[in-house]
Amino acid sequence: MPVSFREIQPMKSPKALHNSAFLVFTIFVFAAIGFGQTPTPKPTPDDEVIKVESRLIMVPASVTDANGNAVLGLTANDFVVKEGNERQEIESVGNADKVPLEIALLFDISATTSPMFRFQQETAAKFLLDVMRDQDRAAIFTVGKKPTLISPRSSAAESVSAIRGIIPTTEFTAFYDSVAAAADYLKRNSPEGTRRVVVVISDGEDTNSVAIEKAINDGYKKVGDKLNSIDTKALYQLTVKARNDASASERVRVSRLLQNADTVFYSINPAGSSYQLNKMSVFGQENMQQFADQTGGNAFLPKFQPIDTKDTYTNDINRRNNATVLDRIFNQLTNELRSQYLIQYYADENQTKGTFVKLSVETPNRAGTRIRARQGYYVTN
């Protein structure tokens, strides 16, 4: 979090004025009788500059009505921000139409998302063209065996061109490393005071992040020579256990990185209802839901219909229905970003480093509104 130092120069008290007058008189006498060079007066306690350290906290908050439409025109007087039960004094509230938007869009290129890949590309491209303005910027990453930045922060037109050039693969997926890389990129490259958003199109499954791969290999090493003799089921169970243990740690790590980058996380899971077919997919969706909840975003899970059946007619109908569902999701995401305010306030500087501070944001005078805002932040200094 940025740290601000405020200098406060208090007015001199009558006692300080008296001391100053006495000091001037003393200097005059010493000079008159030739006792050497005039001594440099030392500042009195009343003259000292007091430095107050404060921590600027940024809270992106989307406000929509019961129908999901953006609620615009709110001011600082409409919001109440609390740390625990303690109300905070809001420094400023920036409206979405005035605060630039910085987007990191992550595209999963693994085989698990291939059936609707091309349509996902076109819908994502349309989303950027709809939501981005001249001052907004987007960076495009692919989620494959490692995170790859294929287009640094650019205008909508340049970002769309990069998206349309993405080619799907059958590689492993480094989901955690990709989200971490995107959060770090936004933190390092986005100007202060902008709204930072990560949008992920993925099923959230991870098979190749550094920590995941290391955990699996370490598990194999523990088995040693027996690895070649165990059956397929035992090998699978060993792999799953190592991966799940590492995933739990990675979930915490990535969540902290998103929070520290003041980033809002959104995801769209192309797997649809089929995500329930295995535990890995369920865990992946749970990850994305947790990241979204903690940062004030949303984890969309569309109910897609299969488009790879043996019936061509059914595939065509399902493809059109899926297109409508995905388009509706991107419209909702656009509405949320267009209604996203950037609330800023100065927090207590005496909090312990590493502490997680819980936040709540309310609009008590606006009945029926729905707010998505970060649930807290980690004290980093």
Tell me the C-alpha distance between 140 and 312, whole Å: 33
Cβ-contact 203, 271 below 8 angstroms? yes
Handedness of CA 360, 363, 367, 372 (dihedral sign): negative
Tell me the C-alpha distance between 87 and 360, whole Å: 9
| pLDDT exceeds 90 at position 199 | yes
| pLDDT exceeds 60 at position 19 | no
Across the range 50-64, mean pLDDT stands at 77
Beta-carbon contacts of 155 under 8 Å, excluding residues fewer than 6 positions away, are 132, 134, 137
The two tokens of residue 19 are 């001391």
Give the pLDDT of residue 232.
Answer: 84
Sheet of 147-154: strand order equals 147-154, 137-143, 101-108, 195-201, 263-268, 298-300
State pLDDT tens for residues 159-198: 999 999 998 887 788 999 999 999 999 999 999 889 999 9
Give the pLDDT of residue 26.
Answer: 40
The two tokens of residue 372 are 């998505």
The two tokens of residue 245 are 């243990």
State pLDDT tens for residues 96-120: 888 999 999 999 988 555 567 887 8
State pLDDT tens for residues 134-149: 999 999 999 999 999 9
Residue 108 DSSP SS3: strand
Average pLDDT along the chain: 83
| pLDDT exceeds 80 at position 362 | yes
Tell me the C-alpha distance between 39 and 296, whole Å: 60
Cβ-contact 295, 373 below 8 angstroms? no
DSSP collapsed to 3 states, 281-326: HHHHHHHHHHHHHHHCCEEECCCCCCCCCCCHHHHHHHHHHHHHHH
Answer whether 0.75 is exceeded by the pTM: yes
Distance of CA 241 to the CA centre of its chain: 29
Nearest to 74 by CA among 280, 341, 284: 341
In angstroms, the first-to-last Cα distance of the chain is 8
Cβ-contact 209, 177 below 8 angstroms? yes
Handedness of CA 237, 239, 240, 246 (dihedral sign): positive
Tell me the C-alpha distance between 219 and 235, whole Å: 10
The two tokens of residue 340 are 């996203």
The two tokens of residue 221 are 């090493």
Q: Which bin fits 30, alpha (ψ -120 to 50), beta or left (φ > 0)? A: alpha
State pLDDT tens for residues 286-318: 999 999 999 999 999 888 887 878 899 998 998
β-pairing verdict for 356-362 and 3-8: unpaired
DSSP annotation of 37: S
Alpha helices in the chain (DSSP H): 14-32, 117-131, 156-164, 175-189, 210-223, 232-260, 279-295, 312-338
